[in-house]
Amino acid sequence: MKKRRLGSCVTFFPQPATLVVSADAGGAVNLMMASWAGIVSKTPPTMAVSLHHGRKSYANIRELGWFSVNAVPAKYAIEADLCGLASGKDTDKFELTGLTVESGATPDVQLLSESPLNVECRYSSEVVLGDYRLVLGEIVEIHACDAAFVEQGSIDARQFDPLVYLGGLREYWSLGEKVADAYRAGLSLLPAKND
């Protein structure tokens, strides 16, 4: 495959399109778009999200020590994008987008009501990376859209309809088709056992 060099940059995908919900001590809740977010450990379950140190959300997380990371359904792509463009310092993103929040399992945590997958996190530590702070949070609870649990042991991914971000290309995409089952499809390539 012929390739071209892009240099030292941050073009990488697919990434999750998420909204981080945080609040300050006065109770003012903020929404921030984040695509540099993901699971980083299961001992204990830990979520990482990278934010510019100047963001209101970063100040909120340091102030209260709690935040949530919320998957964005594809139908809210425009609202989520607004939350990446505007600053919580001078904009009421809830008023502009119509998005709403609800309480999490922890009283201090607010979750995006319109999200089918909310990850409730307690700030644990951070890594300084130039202008960014890689915030690590212990996952205390995950909430998933009930309608996705179609029958015992089976979950319908389409009910989540998660928005995918293509970093570098600056595009939001929907999911297409299921391609394979993980931890199973690859077994077909293993040699048959002799015993």
Q: How far is the CB of 59 from a copy of itself (least distance, A)?
A: 18
Contacts of 19 (CB under 8 A, 6+ apart): 31, 32, 33, 34, 69, 70, 72, 80, 83, 99, 112, 115
Options 59, 84, 106, 108; binder of a copy of itself; rule CB under 8 A: 84
Q: Is 21 helix (H, G, I), strand (E, B) or coil?
A: strand
Distance, in Å, from the CA atom of 152 to the CA atom of 37, rounded to the nearest integer, reads 30
Q: Which amino acid is at 104?
A: G
166 near a copy of itself, rule: CB under 8 A: yes
4 near a copy of itself, rule: CB under 8 A: yes
Of 94-133, binders to a copy of itself (CB under 8 A) are 96-97, 105, 113-114, 116-119, 125, 127, 129-132
141 near a copy of itself, rule: CB under 8 A: yes
Contacts of 99 (CB under 8 A, 6+ apart): 19, 31, 76, 79, 83, 93, 112, 113, 114
Binding segment for a copy of itself among 5-13, 23-31, 58-66 (CB under 8 A)?
Answer: 5-13
Nearer to a copy of itself, 25 or 152 (CB): 152
Of 24-83, binders to a copy of itself (CB under 8 A) are 36-48, 50, 69, 71, 74, 77-83
Q: How far is the CB of 170 from a copy of itself (least distance, A)?
A: 4
Q: How far is the CB of 3 from a copy of itself (least distance, A)?
A: 4
Q: Is 154 helix (H, G, I), strand (E, B) or coil?
A: strand
Q: Which amino acid is at 176?
A: G
Strand 18-23 versus strand 15-16 pairing type:
unpaired
19 near a copy of itself, rule: CB under 8 A: no
167 near a copy of itself, rule: CB under 8 A: yes
Residue 146 is given by DSSP the state G
